[in-house]
Amino acid sequence: MAADGTLLQGEVSDNPGALSDSIVIQKMLQGFLNSLIDEQVRDLRKEALENSIQDKDVR
Amino acid sequence: MTQKGSSSQSALKAVPPIRCVVVQLARLGDNLQSLMALRAAKQLYPQLEITLVVRDSFAAAAHRVPWVHQIHELPTTTLLEGAVSDPTKKDEVLPSLARWLSGLVSQPWDIALNWTFSESSSWLTGLLPARVKLGYSRRKDLTLSASDGWTHYVQAVVQGEIPQNIHLTDILTTQLLTALQIHVGDPEADAGNQSITRGFFDFSQASFNFKQTDLQGRPWRDPARRWIAFQIGAGHSTKTLSPQEWAKLIEIFRKNRPELNLLLLGGAGDLTRQNEIRELIVAQGVPQQGIAYLAGDCEFQDWASVIERSHWLISGDTSAIHVASIVGTRILNLSLGNVRYMETGPYGNGHIVMRPDQRTDLTPEMIFHTWEYFSSEFRAQKSLTLGIHLETEGCPPESIQRMQILRSRIRDADAGGGVVYEAVLNETLSFNDWIAQVTGYIARAWYCGWTPAIGHELSRGHIHPDLIRSVRSLEEPLHVLIKICEESKRTAITLQRKVGALRSQKVMGLEAKQSLQQQADKLMELEQLIERLVHAQPALAMFFRFAKVSMHNLSGDDIAELGKQTATVYNRLGQGAQTFKEWVAHLLSLSKPMVVENRSRVIPVEFRNSTKSKTPNPDHEVTT
């Protein structure tokens, strides 16, 4: 058994349901979308950088 | 959403299913490690009904796993196509994202598990209704939340790039199993004997066309021939060999072991690299018989089934090593570039990791001779060590000295379980590797409640003067750190008591407010002291990062509760620092000279005229 149960049980909700506050939902969705886009842009930049390095290697 | 069938096992036992959604939006390697952890949980809790949320481009592995209930694919590229190039189109994408999400929020989950540990996944997890959430999420005030200990560990230590030696698969497995134990109870006594232990992937759909011509005149289905697979690409060119090095390695294999079939593997992006390797091999006049160039030619199930059929996989830090770990193919992992093999290396018994101190030391010759040694291990071990073998084969002694070669082993449960990498060449331990052992040990003490004896995997052979010097330099800072943690704990308790004595926590006199402010300021000063201490001694960085992460995740509704939780955090940090100090003392004790018991015995003299052959009695000294 774990040493500290309270620290291992995670975030517990006795009555879970979809978020009811539409403003919170809207903001969370926007946060999700913004961070997805940021990650996608970062991946594309990384890929472009990697390709340019490989081009240099080949040359 | 793809539904893959219902859990017949749970229906038979009439145990209600545990609806578990797992958010894994990272790449294929992370998906595979998550699947390994989920398999362990599914074996012990067959009633787990797992829904995986994955990016569509990395969903192939999950589709081949029969015990995953549903797969919810995030079509990242098509969904974000317009918005990535034109940020003004974000609002147009939002309704599509909401529609995609609707299938995940209609019914509460028993467990929402976010194993991506990224910003985007925290927002998604925040939106999911669940009785229990583990991993990054968002609170209603939109701040980042990491509510459980193992998530704190990932955030503070793993993502903080602090050396630690617990494999990610073990972290994920322990996190989930502990939560299940808390919320569901112990597994059934006969759990673990389920059929999913037999096969991980379902390769019945594998359609790879094993053409005879692909192996240049050799039949594919020749059971007498062993296959060696080479994963030639990697996420970054520094994490794999150059085309010239791969070509040389293939050439050496072909020359020394012509009976083997050699298979080059890689994704579509590795075709250029493969063509270059092929040209180099052909230019060297290497016979092509038994060499197959499969990069870019395989779907996931074909690629994975080729790895399963191979006897060895030679690869950098790629998802191929996770596939091989799952299907039980031995791995020679070339740990190159910015890679932490202790966290993401091959999982299982008997895999080999080569980690050069200097990149130029890892030559194709060194790789081949290391593989050669381990591929005929029983024969080799009887006659010579790996170091002597490499030296005999002409590898430069200075390169051998600088090379780390390790073998993986799954620890026994009574030694803590999990995978460990043991040095088979150059056993001396670096300071960072020692720190990794201590950090992993402290995490187990915090979150598992039980640990084996301190330093049980250390011996005198591991230590050297540089390590002793570095470790000794930690004695004083650790002493100071323990004092700071004690003082912080006392201050937090004082704060809690002072608040508890107030009639109201919101309305109070000026004097009471100033008194509380004093305690709060003192806590801030003590935290700054830890920061300064860590700045001077970076080996203790985990404590500052833990303090930051834990403080951010305090969840009390009032000042008294926050004070109480703060005291708990500093108590835990103090215990960790105390454990660290015990590790220091243990290592320094190993370095002290020991009285060696004289076990030599005097050999009895045999008298010339003795007619009987006497058996020497080692317990009797002979005087003449």
String of DSSP letters for B50-77: EEEEEEGGG-HHHHT-TT--EEEEE-HH
Alpha-carbon distance of B27 to B22, in angstroms, equals: 14
Flag if A37 and B83 touch (Cβ within 8 Å): yes
Tokens 């194993």 -> residue:
B115
- What ipTM describes this predicted complex? 0.85
Task: List Cα–Cα distances, B314 to B399, B471, B571, in angstroms.
Answer: 20, 36, 46
Alpha-carbon distance B129 to nearest alpha carbon in chain A (angstroms):
5
Residue B109: list chain A partners with CB under 8 A: 16
At B304, list the tokens.
């994975």
Alpha-carbon distance of B542 to B425, in angstroms, equals: 29
Alpha-carbon distance of B58 to A33, in angstroms, equals: 19
Kindly state the percentage of chain B with pLDDT values over 90.
71
pLDDT of B624: 31
Q: Which amino acid is it at B354?
A: M
Flag if B447 and A11 touch (Cβ within 8 Å): no
Q: What is the mean pLDDT of residues B444-471?
A: 91
Identify the three-state secondary structure at position B46. coil
Question: Looking at chain A, which residue has its C-alpha nearest residue B77?
Answer: A40
At B181, list the tokens.
């134990």
Per-residue pLDDT of B492-530, as tens digits, reads 999 999 988 887 777 778 888 898 899 999 999 999 999
Mean pLDDT computed over every residue of chain B: 89
Give kind and range of the element (H or E) at residue B440: helix B431-447
Q: B421-427 contacts: CB < 8 A, separation 24 or more?
A: B421/B341, B421/B342, B421/B345, B421/B353, B422/B457, B423/B462, B424/B352, B424/B386, B425/B386, B425/B387, B425/B390, B425/B400, B426/B387, B426/B400, B426/B401, B426/B402, B427/B459, B427/B461, B427/B462
Flag if A3 and B129 touch (Cβ within 8 Å): no
Flag if A8 and B149 touch (Cβ within 8 Å): yes
Of B123, B127, B147, the CB nearest to A35: B123
Name B292's bridge partners: B263
Alpha-carbon distance B492 to nearest alpha carbon in chain A (angstroms):
19
Question: Looking at chain B, which residue has its C-alpha nearest residue A13?
Answer: B131
B248: burial class by Cβ within 10 Å (0-12, 13-18, 19+)? buried
For chain B, say whether A24 makes contact (Cβ under 8 Å). yes
Per-residue pLDDT of B585-622, as tens digits, reads 999 999 887 766 665 566 666 655 544 444 444 444 43
Residue B94: list chain A partners with CB under 8 A: 29-30, 33
Q: What is the mean pLDDT of residues A29-46?
A: 90
Identify the three-state secondary structure at position B367. helix
pLDDT of B393: 94
Flag if A11 and B147 touch (Cβ within 8 Å): yes
pLDDT of B11: 43
**Chains A and B: how many Cβ contacts under 8 Å?**
139
Task: List Cα–Cα distances, B433 to A13, B44, B167, B437, B463, in angstroms.
Answer: 40, 33, 14, 6, 11
Interface test with A, best of B136, B138, B182 (most A CBs within 10 A): B182
Per-residue pLDDT of B118-154, as tens digits, reads 999 999 999 999 999 999 999 999 999 998 999 999 9
| pTM for the model | 0.90
Flag if A16 and B90 touch (Cβ within 8 Å): no
CB B408 within 8 A of CB B346: yes
- pLDDT bucket at B206, cuts 50 / 70 / 90: low
Of A3, A40, A41, the CB nearest to B445: A3
Alpha-carbon distance of B245 to B577, in angstroms, equals: 45
For chain B, say whether A13 makes contact (Cβ under 8 Å). yes
Handedness of CA B332, B336, B341, B343 (dihedral sign): negative
Residue B40's contacts (CB-CB under 8 Å, 6 or more residues apart) are: B173, B177
Flag if B448 and A2 touch (Cβ within 8 Å): yes
Residue A16: list chain B partners with CB under 8 A: 108-109, 129-131
Per-residue pLDDT of B231-281, as tens digits, reads 999 988 899 999 999 999 999 999 999 999 999 999 988 999 999 999 999
Task: List Cα–Cα distances, B238 to A53, B243, B376, in angstroms.
Answer: 10, 12, 30
pLDDT of B611: 46
- Rounding to the nearest 10 degrees, give the CA dihedral for residues B130, B134, B137, B139: 70
pLDDT of B190: 76
Identify the three-state secondary structure at position B617. coil
Of A13, A19, A36, the CB nearest to B131: A13
For chain B, say whether A49 makes contact (Cβ under 8 Å). no
Per-residue pLDDT of B28-85, as tens digits, reads 999 999 999 999 999 999 999 999 999 999 999 999 999 999 999 999 988 888 888 8
Phi, psi dihedral angles at B2 (to 5 degrees):
-100, 120
Alpha-carbon distance of B247 to B281, in angstroms, equals: 6
Specify the range with the lowest mean pLDDT, choosing from B307-321, B337-351, B605-619: B605-619
Give the residue among B290, B295, B296, B300 at the shortest CA–CA distance from B260.
B290
Alpha-carbon distance B290 to nearest alpha carbon in chain A (angstroms):
27
Q: Which amino acid is it at B393?
A: E
Per-residue pLDDT of B368-406, as tens digits, reads 999 999 998 665 566 788 999 999 999 999 999 999 999
Q: At what angle do helices B431-447 and B559-591 cross, to 10 degrees?
A: 140
CB A6 within 8 A of CB B447: no
Per-residue pLDDT of B552-587, as tens digits, reads 999 877 888 999 999 999 999 999 999 999 999 999
For chain B, say whether A10 makes contact (Cβ under 8 Å). yes
